[in-house]
Every structure is written in structure tokens, then in C-alpha cells.
Amino acid sequence: MKRILLLCIICSLAISVDAQIHKKIDVGGHRIDVKIKQGGPIPVIFEAGLTKDLTCWDPIFNVVGSFTTAVAYSRAGYGDSEAGPFPRIPSIIFNDFRALIDSLGLNKPLILVGHSWGGLLARYYTTQIPERIGGLVLVDATHGAEDQTLLESDSVKWSYFFRGYAAAIDSLKRVKAFSESVFSEWDAIDEICQSGGIDFEPLQLPNIPIVVITAQGGDSSDPDIQHTKRKNQAEWLEYSTNAMWIITDKSGHDVMVFQPNLIIDGIEYINKILLAEQSSGN
């Protein structure tokens, strides 16, 4: 009997440690799918790249949620999130983001983790509410003034689309929302880059801890792409006195798949800095 009771206690503790909150939150006329795991005082919000929903962070979500409060969400039209207002330009997407963090009560300086297009969005959010962003982890992030050769390729455009399309085919309604959202966001990226990134580069970031992860392997192994990435992404380091630059030739663009430990290391680096600041009263 004692052995059974002990086993039940152990099982209940294991369940509570790994427990996640998964729900939909109204952000103003449409609901956003969000997943939360609370394991520490510093909130970490993940911003996915083009076509990707919150599941793209699964390789690192539970680990990060063991020492922070990890929050992953799907932008409007992606995954199980409902369609939002158009066009899907950064200022409109930001309205969803701000409504989400307000609804969750994330008032402390938080860490933003942005991959690809999500990295550009993360930098934009930071310029809009600098007092609420404590650190940035930019995972092979899109630069608003980079070479258009790759982005203008129709084959690349459609390959990105179909990467996320398969996840939406369980209902016609989801296919429509996904398709419209993806192409609207792609148009926004196109416009930003074709204009030379006038509205985005350089985004005047505050002096907060920044980790930049630059992928140089796999689909990023072309020498011209490598050079352009290094040159552009190095700019973001100049804003911070607590900066870390991780360059890897063992990972393609989707770093969370190839080397998830690099993202975890970056989050841990900033998390320790923010915890130290909190304990010292700064």
C-alpha cells in the first residue's frame, strides 16, 4: 500500500512538472492558440518564422519551460489560431502580440526569441515597447535590407508555403486562413526588402542583452548567402553591451531542428542576466 501511494505521489509530481497550459486567447475579434509552461520567473516568448506555427518550437519548448515561463503561439491564420485582420504587416501583427502579452499579464521584461521572419518581427516589437523587452535571441533572423535573390525565387516561395500547408489540410477553413496569412506575410517581407528596408534597417534597438545565431550550413552554405548573413546580422550586436554571436556551419536555416541546444544556450545566457538584475534591484 505504501509503495502504491509513493508511486502515485511520484507520478503526480512528474505530471505537475511537465504540465503545460494550452488554450486560445481572444486578441480582439479572433483567437490565438497559445501554449505555456511555467518553470521560472522570466517570460520567454517564441515568434516563429514564415509558415510555421507554435509546434516548430517543440524541440526546445519543454527544456526552456523548465527554467523560465515559456510561451509559444501561432500567429493569426497559422495552426489552430483563427484568421486575423489583413494585410499581415508588422504593425497589425504587433497588435495581436501586444494583446496576447497583456492578456497573459506578462508585464516583466521578457525575452523574445524570433526565427527568420519572426526575428524581424521580434525586433519590430522591441522598438514599439522597449520597456517590456528584456532581451532578444535572433535565430537566423531576416534582415530588412538583405539580398533579394533568394526571396524572389518562386521555387523557394512555394517550398516555404508547402512546408506549412500539410499541417492545415485537415479542414478547408484552416487551409484558407493559412494560405491567406502566408501570402500576406510574404508580401510584407517582399515590400520591406524591395524598399531597401527603409522602415526597418537599422531598427534602433535598446541596449539589452542580444544573442544572434547565424546559420552557415545546409541551405545556408552558399558562400554569397553566408557572407551576406554575417555582414547583416553583425549589425544587431552593435546595440548591446551584453551581446553574444553564435555562428554555426552545422545548421541550416531551421536551427531549432538541427542544433536546438544553441537556442537554449542563448536563452539561458539572457535569463541569467535578467535574474541577476532582478536580484540586485535594477
pLDDT of 49-76, one tens digit each? 998 999 999 999 999 999 999 999 999 9
Residue 221 lies in a domain: yes
> Is residue 7 situated within a structural domain?
no
Q: What is the pLDDT of residue 153?
A: 44
**227 in a domain, yes or no?**
yes
Per-residue pLDDT tens over the stretch 114-150 = 999 999 999 999 999 999 999 999 999 988 765 444 4
pLDDT value, residue 127: 92
- Inside any domain, residue 189: yes
Q: Would you say residue 15 lies in a domain?
A: no
Q: Is residue 12 part of a domain?
A: no
Q: How confident is the model over 191-219, as a mean pLDDT?
A: 80
pLDDT in tens, 16-41: 445 899 999 999 999 999 999 999 99
- Rounded Cα gap, residues 1 and 7, in angstroms: 10
Please compute the mean of the pLDDT values over residues 11-20 and round it to a whole number: 54
Write out the residue range of the structural domain in which residue 267 sits.
Answer: 21-275
Task: Say what the pTM is.
Answer: 0.87
Q: What is the CATH number of the domain that holds 241?
A: 3.40.50.1820
Predicted confidence band of residue 163 (pLDDT cuts 50, 70, 90): low
- Does 165 map to a domain? yes
Q: In this structure, is residue 282 part of a structural domain?
A: no
How many domains does the chain divide into?
Answer: 1
Q: Is the pLDDT of residue 202 over 70?
A: no
Segment 69-84 shows an average pLDDT of 96
